[in-house]
Amino acid sequence: MRDAGNVGVHQEKWWGQFLEASDRFDAAYLVEGLGDLVGPHIKAPLLRREVKIATEVVVRYLERPASEDRADQAREATERLIRTLARIEDRSTGSAISTDEAMILCLALQGRYAQAAAAAEPLVGTVKLQRLFVTALRLERFDIPMTLRLLDGGQTPEEAVRSGHLIGRYSWWPSWLLRIVTERALKGELNETTIAALDKCAYAELSPLQANLARKLLGGDPSLIDTAAQHLASLGDQETAARLRDGDLTAVAVAARIVPP
On whether residue 226 sits in a domain, the answer given is: yes
Of 14-18, 88-92, 243-247, which gets the smallest average pLDDT? 88-92
Q: Are 165 and 257 part of one and the same domain?
A: no
C-alpha of 131 from chain center: 8
Q: Residue 89: name the closest of 191, 182, 5, 212 by CA.
A: 5
Of 110-114, 209-213, 232-236, which gets the smallest average pLDDT? 209-213
Q: Are 120 and 21 part of one and the same domain?
A: yes
On whether residue 246 sits in a domain, the answer given is: yes
Q: Which residue has the higher pLDDT, 210 or 151?
A: 151
Tell me which DSSP letter residue 109 carries: H
pLDDT bracket for residue 3 (50, 70, 90): very low
d(CA 201, CA 215): 10
Mean pLDDT for the chain overall: 88
Q: Are 25 and 68 part of one and the same domain?
A: yes
Number of domains into which the chain is organized: 3
Q: Residue 189: name the closest of 164, 163, 215 by CA.
A: 163
On whether residue 79 sits in a domain, the answer given is: yes
Q: Are 106 and 215 part of one and the same domain?
A: no
Q: Which residue has the higher pLDDT, 238 or 199?
A: 238
Q: Are 150 and 224 part of one and the same domain?
A: no
Q: Are 17 and 134 part of one and the same domain?
A: yes
Q: Which tens digits make up the pLDDT trace of 18-42? A: 999 999 999 999 999 999 999 999 9
Q: Are 178 and 127 part of one and the same domain?
A: no
Q: Are 37 and 152 part of one and the same domain?
A: no
On whether residue 222 sits in a domain, the answer given is: yes
Cβ distance 58 to 77 under 8 Å? yes
Q: Are 25 and 80 part of one and the same domain?
A: yes
Give kind and range of the element (H or E) at residue 77: helix 68-90
On whether residue 53 sits in a domain, the answer given is: yes
pLDDT bracket for residue 166 (50, 70, 90): confident
Tell me, yes or no, if the pTM score tops 0.85: no
On whether residue 209 sits in a domain, the answer given is: yes
Bin 162: left if φ > 0, else alpha if -120 < ψ < 50, else beta: alpha
Q: Which residue has the higher pLDDT, 217 or 70?
A: 70
**pLDDT higher than threshold 80 for residue 258:** no
On whether residue 117 sits in a domain, the answer given is: yes
**pLDDT higher than threshold 60 for residue 181:** yes
118 lies in which domain range?
A: 12-138
Domain's final residue, options 203, 220, 248: 203
Percent helix, strand and coil across the chain, each rounded to 5?
Answer: 70, 0, 30
Half-sphere exposure for 214 (CA within 13 Å, toward CB) = 33
Q: Are 134 and 246 part of one and the same domain?
A: no
Q: Are 20 and 119 part of one and the same domain?
A: yes
Of 84-88, 110-114, 184-188, which gets the smallest average pLDDT? 184-188
Q: Are 83 and 172 part of one and the same domain?
A: no
**Alpha-carbon distance values, 228 to 81, 87, 102, 245, 259 (Å):** 69, 76, 64, 9, 9
Q: Can you tell me the mean pLDDT for 4-26?
A: 84
On whether residue 230 sits in a domain, the answer given is: yes
Q: pLDDT value at position 259?
A: 66
Q: Which tens digits make up the pLDDT trace of 104-146? A: 999 999 999 999 999 999 999 999 999 999 999 999 989 999 9
d(CA 193, CA 126): 32
Cβ distance 109 to 55 under 8 Å? yes
Helix, strand, or coil (residue 205): coil
